């Protein structure tokens, strides 16, 4: 009998464990299944993974159509003409946007999210919520104002850790080119191999102590590494010039006068930097020693000599591009009130004549793309009360208003929806190397903004602003047109009627 028990017991134990294992497994699944579903749904205010969007105004690479876009598992799988129509998959949900504009989400390639280290200035959570609320579906984060700056693969890792589960839109990263890594190609290669989309450098002091400026010598070194990776160099293009005339002018109005600040950074700073850069970009031409590298001029404000230099370099076949920002297109120096440091940025906002020429260059395609250079700080560093333009932090807070600001001011100059979409989506995607985004085309990510260009609103204290420091924004108090209704990131409805999806499901974009 005892012998029998000893023989059967292991078998019985095995059998019972088998049953218990499968029972637990099953009940675990039963619990897990709805949980998994819930997590997915938390990414989106919409519960379908396969659906259609229909509208009378869809901005596509072939023009504006009245039609429908089919979205499945985060991607655009068909685009057809005919409002309200569905293709073969007739049983899927259709969201009808009527005559609201359906456009590719904006890609803002110049955003300072300042995390880790200066989250009190701006952060992944607040910055990307603001982006989503403004129809911006991808941002590319700058390597400075965060601490430490993103200048090595180790510091990029800190960025990625800080961003985890906290980004509401997709986020790419620029690495920093500073003298230290410019002279050590293995650090740069480590940073590029870790996935930054390209590098950024300053040709004048950046205002951040661990982000020193580079000379043209460092820039050449950086470009020789970038050429191998076929990624761009983004340059803050101003070189400090000392001229007696400017110093005299500076003394006249005092630090609360906007003109005083304007005179401290004349267009000759931009011209000097761009002159040096175009001396190097000749080597980026096809067959040249730096073929594969590309130079991108950040936030051009001077629409005269600096722009001419860029146009000439382009016509010679150099690999060079240029952006400007909404604040240079919306404001002019003449209207900036004394002491209102919300308008302080570098390079400075210039006069109305310059602004007119800048718009002309944008509309004629000489300026490749737009970006915000969203660069907030703490209110106390903006010195709003003192109003000292010389001491205040330079940087405009605008990320959430990219679309309505560009549209409100641009339509007066004849800007079309197609141009708007090229400047804010297609061209930035190409420049940053994120080709799966930037247009409503089959195979692309379903990154979409739905908005009403005709709806006007006042940006006052009742308006839901998601930026960390709304009061710093130079756009507060303005009446704008172009209201964002809904924003999709990879098919997830991340923003609707002033509300965000419960979970932050943006993903980091890393270059391979
Ligand atoms: N460090 C930093 O963000 N600087 C930016 N601010 C600004 O106005 N121009 C810049 O380059
Ligand atoms: Zn800059
Ligand atoms: Zn910047």
> With contact defined as beta carbons under 8 Å apart, do 296 and 254 qualify?
no
> With contact defined as beta carbons under 8 Å apart, do 280 and 288 qualify?
no
Please identify, by atom number, the ligand 1 atom nearest to the C-alpha of residue 211.
Answer: 1
C-alpha dihedral sign at 230, 103, 106, 369? positive
Q: Is 144 in the pocket of ligand 1 (CB under 6 A)?
A: yes
Pocket perturbation via mutation, ligand 1, pick of 210, 239, 375 by most ligand atoms within 8 A of CB: 375
User: Bridge partners of 456?
Assistant: 481
What span, in angstroms and rounded, lies between the C-alpha atoms of 120 and 289? 44
The pair of structure tokens assigned to 229 is: 């990776």
DSSP assignment letter at 298? -
**Predicted pLDDT of residue 34:** 36
Closest CA relative to residue 505, chosen from 42, 172, 130, 35: 42
Task: Report the half-sphere exposure of 218 (CA within 13 A, side-chain side).
Answer: 22
**Predicted pLDDT of residue 88:** 83
Pocket perturbation via mutation, ligand 1, pick of 394, 396, 472 by most ligand atoms within 8 A of CB: 394
pTM of the model: 0.92
Q: What is the largest CA-CA distance in the chain?
A: 112
Closest CA relative to residue 466, chosen from 138, 130, 132: 130
Q: Is 207 in the pocket of ligand 1 (CB under 6 A)?
A: yes
**Predicted pLDDT of residue 33:** 34
Q: Is 145 in the pocket of ligand 1 (CB under 6 A)?
A: yes
Q: Is 221 in the pocket of ligand 1 (CB under 6 A)?
A: no
List the alpha helices (DSSP H) in 134-234.
Answer: 153-163, 179-182, 185-193, 216-229
Closest CA relative to residue 104, chosen from 72, 64, 142, 51: 64
Closest CA relative to residue 120, chosen from 392, 467, 506: 467
Q: Is 150 in the pocket of ligand 1 (CB under 6 A)?
A: no
> With contact defined as beta carbons under 8 Å apart, do 447 and 108 qualify?
no
Instruction: Determine the distance separating the centroid of ligand 1 and the alpha carbon of 202, expressed in angstroms.
Output: 10
Measured from the Cβ of residue 44, the count of other Cβ atoms closer than 10 Å reads 22
Instruction: Determine the distance separating the centroid of ligand 1 and the alpha carbon of 345, expressed in angstroms.
Output: 6
Please identify, by atom number, the ligand 1 atom nearest to the C-alpha of residue 344.
Answer: 8
Instruction: Determine the distance separating the centroid of ligand 3 and the alpha carbon of 321, expressed in angstroms.
Output: 16
Ligand in nearest proximity to the CA of 397:
1
Write the ipTM: 0.98
Q: Kindly give the confidence (pLDDT) of every residue in the chain, 512 residues in length, as a single tens digit, with 9 standing for 90 and above.
A: 566 556 665 555 555 554 444 434 333 333 333 333 444 579 999 989 999 999 999 999 999 999 999 999 999 999 999 999 988 888 899 999 999 999 999 999 999 999 999 999 999 999 999 999 999 999 999 999 999 999 999 999 999 999 999 999 999 999 999 999 999 999 999 999 999 999 999 999 999 999 999 999 999 999 999 999 999 999 999 999 986 555 555 556 899 999 999 999 999 999 999 999 999 999 999 999 999 999 999 999 999 999 999 999 999 999 999 999 999 999 999 999 999 999 999 999 999 999 999 999 999 999 999 999 999 999 999 999 999 999 999 999 999 999 999 999 999 999 999 999 999 999 999 999 999 999 999 999 999 999 999 999 999 999 999 999 999 999 999 999 999 999 999 999 999 999 999 999 999 999 99
What span, in angstroms and rounded, lies between the C-alpha atoms of 333 and 354? 10
Q: Is 128 in the pocket of ligand 1 (CB under 6 A)?
A: no
**Predicted pLDDT of residue 18:** 45
Please identify, by atom number, the ligand 1 atom nearest to the C-alpha of residue 206.
Answer: 1
Instruction: Determine the distance separating the centroid of ligand 1 and the alpha carbon of 422, expressed in angstroms.
Output: 25
């Amino acid at each position: 009998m005892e012998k029998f028990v000893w023989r059967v017991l292991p078998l019985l134990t095995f059998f019972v464990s088998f049953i218990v294992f499968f029972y637990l497994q099953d009940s675990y699944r039963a619990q897990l299944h709805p949980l998994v579903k819930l997590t997915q749904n938390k990414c989106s205010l919409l519960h379908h993974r396969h659906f259609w969007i229909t509208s009378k105004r869809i901005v596509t690479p072939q023009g504006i159509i009245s039609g429908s876009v089919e979205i499945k598992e985060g991607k655009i799988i068909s685009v057809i003409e005919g409002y309200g129509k569905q293709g073969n998959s007739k049983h899927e949900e259709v969201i009808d946007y009527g005559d609201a504009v359906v456009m590719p989400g904006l890609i803002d390639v110049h955003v300072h999210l300042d995390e880790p280290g200066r989250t009190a200035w701006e952060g992944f959570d607040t910055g990307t919520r603001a982006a989503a609320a403004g129809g911006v579906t991808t941002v590319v984060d700058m390597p400075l104002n965060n601490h430490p700056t993103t200048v090595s693969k180790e510091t990029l890792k800190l960025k990625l850790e800080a961003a985890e589960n906290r980004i509401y839109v997709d986020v790419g990263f620029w690495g920093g080119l500073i003298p230290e890594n410019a002279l050590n190609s293995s650090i740069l290669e480590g940073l590029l191999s870790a996935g930054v989309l390209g590098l950024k450098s300053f040709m004048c002091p950046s205002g951040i102590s661990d982000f020193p400026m580079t000379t043209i010598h460092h820039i050449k070194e950086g470009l020789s590494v970038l050429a191998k990776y076929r990624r761009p160099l983004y340059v803050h293009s101003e070189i400090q010039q000392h001229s007696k005339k400017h110093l005299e002018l500076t003394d006249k109005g005092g630090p609360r006068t906007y003109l005083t600040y304007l005179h401290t950074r004349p267009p000759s700073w931009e011209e000097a930097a761009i002159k040096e850069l175009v001396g190097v970009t000749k080597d980026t031409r096809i067959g040249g020693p730096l073929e594969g590298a590309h130079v991108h001029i950040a936030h051009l404000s001077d629409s005269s000599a600096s722009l001419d230099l860029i146009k000439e370099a382009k016509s010679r076949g150099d690999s060079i591009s240029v952006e400007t920002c909404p604040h240079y297109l919306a404001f002019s120096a003449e209207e900036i009130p004394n002491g209102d440091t919300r308008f302080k940025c570098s390079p400075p906002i210039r006069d109305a004549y310059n602004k007119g020429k800048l718009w002309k260059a944008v509309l004629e395609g000489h300026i490749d793309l737009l970006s915000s250079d969203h660069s907030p700080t703490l209110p106390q560093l903006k010195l709003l009360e003192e109003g000292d333009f010389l001491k205040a932090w330079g940087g405009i807070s605008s990320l959430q208003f990219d679309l309505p600001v560009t549209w409100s001011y641009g339509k007066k100059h004849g800007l079309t929806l197609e141009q708007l979409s090229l400047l804010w989506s297609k061209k930035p995607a190409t420049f940053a190397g994120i080709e799966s985004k930037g247009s409503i085309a089959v195979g692309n990510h379903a990154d979409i903004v739905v908005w009403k260009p005709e709806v006007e609103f006042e940006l006052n204290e009742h308006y839901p602003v998601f930026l960390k420091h709304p009061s710093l924004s130079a756009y507060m108090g303005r009446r704008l047109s172009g209201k964002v209704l809904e924003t999709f990131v990879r098919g997830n409805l991340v923003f609707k009627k002033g509300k965000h999806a419960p979970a932050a499901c943006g993903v980091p974009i890393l270059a391979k």
